[in-house]
Amino acid sequence: MIPTAPSHEPIFNVPRPVLVVLAILVLIHVGRGLLPAEDDLWLVLAAAFIPGRYEAIGVELPGGAPALFTSPFTHMLLHGDWMHLALNSAWLLAFGGAIAERTGAVKFYAFFIVCGLAGAAAFYIANAGLMQPMIGASGAISGLMGAALRFLFPALDSGGFRRLREAPRSVRLMSLSEALTDRRILVTSAILVVINVLAIVGFGVAQNSAGIAWEAHLGGYLLGLFTYGLFDSVSADEDYPQPNVD
């Protein structure tokens, strides 16, 4: 009898919706690199979310009047440089997979966009009239982080990261009231706030000069934390086999 080689699960098992988002972001950034500098600058300004665009002078900015409606969406597709894209891609891979498995593709895309819009709204509220452009998917990805916390800690309580990786739909989702009183989520949220505050005072002088939109981070995060229950597709009655835990 010829022994068969043991099967090994892939180290990375990324759901297709996450790969689609990642591919779109990378392809757009590659495409921008092929443009002349002036054309790339026009594209960035036309796609960027600019609070001052909603003032009287806004229609004179690149993108014109249509950008009033498109820029809250298109700003998520562009990134400042490869490092900015790499960081957002890493966080997308870290938090997006389990959410995509639980929601399915359509709800995943919708949730991602809604969190990005919340980030833009928070940036506008804090910076009404500001002419500085904001680009990047950080608000949307922060929303994925906020959402993931509502089933991350229940997973750690009953099987650990292995369960979250192998059977994310088997993990219980915290109710909103439970999430808002869970000490671990409160501590994580406080740490996130502190990190973003450090990006604008003292420690974060260099980062702030690069234009980190901390408002978008917090806006997306809070929207994700508060509303993920409306997107989650896992029924409390579902019975999924539990992975073996060593």
Please give the pLDDT value at position 236. Answer: 57
3, pLDDT greater than 60: no
User: What's the average model confidence in pLDDT over 147-159?
Assistant: 90
Confidence of residue 53 (pLDDT cuts 50, 70, 90): very high
**How confident is the prediction for the chain on average, in pLDDT?**
86
Confidence of residue 5 (pLDDT cuts 50, 70, 90): very low
Residues whose CB is less than 8 angstroms from the CB of residue 31 and which lie 6 or more positions away in sequence, other chains included? none
Q: Which domain holds residue 124?
A: 16-230
User: What's the average model confidence in pLDDT over 111-134?
Assistant: 94
Inside any domain, residue 116: yes
206, pLDDT greater than 60: no
4, pLDDT greater than 60: no
Please give the pLDDT value at position 202. Answer: 45
**Which amino acid belongs to residue 11?**
I
210, pLDDT greater than 70: no
**Pairwise CA distance, residues 186 & 222, whole Å:** 12
Inside any domain, residue 60: yes
Name the CA radius of gyration of the chain, rounded: 20
User: What's the average model confidence in pLDDT over 52-66?
Assistant: 92
**Which amino acid belongs to residue 57?**
I
Residue pair 127/215 in contact (Cβ under 8 Å)? The answer is yes
DSSP one-letter code for 49: B
192, pLDDT greater than 70: yes
Residue pair 196/214 in contact (Cβ under 8 Å)? The answer is yes
Beta bridge partners of residue 49, listed in sequence order:
134
Q: What is the pLDDT of residues 6-51, one digit of tens each?
A: 444 444 578 999 999 999 999 999 999 999 999 999 999 999 999 9
DSSP one-letter code for 80: S
Inside any domain, residue 10: no
Inside any domain, residue 238: no
Please give the pLDDT value at position 157. Answer: 86
**Pairwise CA distance, residues 197 & 202, whole Å:** 9
Please give the pLDDT value at position 159. Answer: 72
Q: Which CATH number do you get for residue 154?
A: 1.20.1540.10
Please give the pLDDT value at position 180. Answer: 94
Mind giving me the DSSP string for 82-147?
Answer: HHHHHHHHHHHHHHHHHHHHHH-HHHHHHHHHHHHHHHHHHHHHHSTT----B-SSHHHHHHHHHH
Domain count, the chain: 1
**Do you know the residue count of the chain?**
246
Please give the pLDDT value at position 84. Answer: 92
Copy the structure tokens of residue 37: 């500098």
Inside any domain, residue 240: no
Helix, coil or strand: residue 40: helix
**Pairwise CA distance, residues 86 & 180, whole Å:** 31
Per cent of the chain over pLDDT 70 is: 85
Inside any domain, residue 11: no
Please give the pLDDT value at position 201. Answer: 60
Q: Which of 39-43, 132-136, 206-210 has the lowest mean pLDDT?
A: 206-210
**Pairwise CA distance, residues 217 & 185, whole Å:** 16
What global pTM score does this model have?
0.86
Residue pair 241/167 in contact (Cβ under 8 Å)? The answer is yes
Inside any domain, residue 202: yes
82, pLDDT greater than 50: yes
Helix, coil or strand: residue 245: coil
Inside any domain, residue 93: yes
Please give the pLDDT value at position 207. Answer: 35
